[in-house]
Structure 1
């Protein structure tokens, strides 16, 4: 195991900066709730949910587009953090399954499903997008090395699994979480290597990029 060293303590933020950081966290949390429920909601709904004035929100995010982009980037960071943590697990199969469970529990992938096509991605998202692809590839590679993952499964299949889980929703959040975990368990069982061949070819790179094309507003 690699040696770890204590990180130097970060300097405390000034009162004004600390308040700004707290406000930003409140705004992003509110935006996540609002846009998960309705990606077409106005930015004023976020201000109402966050309990901040619309002018204060616009000072931080000059447009709904900027807020959506930041929200998506935050979701990617959370996804990648779970992936990086999973790569610390020595067992490749457990790493992959644990990663999927944590992403589903955190409801991270729902952001991608709901926000796709609602804004125009730019190059600021590229580092996180690239890293997520690298994490997925490595998790699948290690799972294959254990012999427990179907040989025909590739890293893009993870998106299909997470899409399926994110699509499940009922009015009760706790029940939604239960049903998503149940669905994931069924899908994970299907990932295990056996003699039954999967129908159709695996997803290919770029096959789902179309959903990030900006949709015309009606």
Structure 2
């Protein structure tokens, strides 16, 4: 078991997909409208309503911001990255909805714009995860959002992106952009391998620091 799951935890900074991490639980559970988040301007949005609409949808952007801050020391606002991802085809606006994150154009964007190594993995077996993380990569993984509470019977796998930042013999270590503060479900969350199986959709994006220079 220890050979399959080497211990490696990368000291990646955490970002929530909402501007105020301490308010995520109230927002997700409907006790607070996201437009009432007092830090909405820090998102780069023009209005509270724009912030509220996007904040529910940018788990992937939150993961990218964490990776950029870890490897490059800083990251743009969520709205700046969202607009770039739209232009790159990683998100597609449809009426009042949003398609994405679409892995292949996102990986191309992350490489071309930010100089990261990035590979879309529509099939990413759990067995490969420990080796990839121990090799210095960060993984954006598709899981069901109820992973934040380790729901005993999620309705499906996938639908939400988290950033895998470490592995131990017993668990995957992740940053969850929609995790709840104070319940140990936001940063450096340890999810046992046996629990991960019922949430993980078997796909994601592998990111590495790369050697290229970021785009202008």
- Superposed pair shares fold, TM > 0.5: no
User: Taking structure 2 as the reference length, what is the TM-score of the superposition?
Assistant: 0.30
| TM-score, reference length from structure 1 | 0.30
Q: Which has more helix, going by share of residues?
A: 1
Greater RCO (CA < 8 Å, at least 6 residues apart): 2
Q: Which has the larger radius of gyration?
A: 1
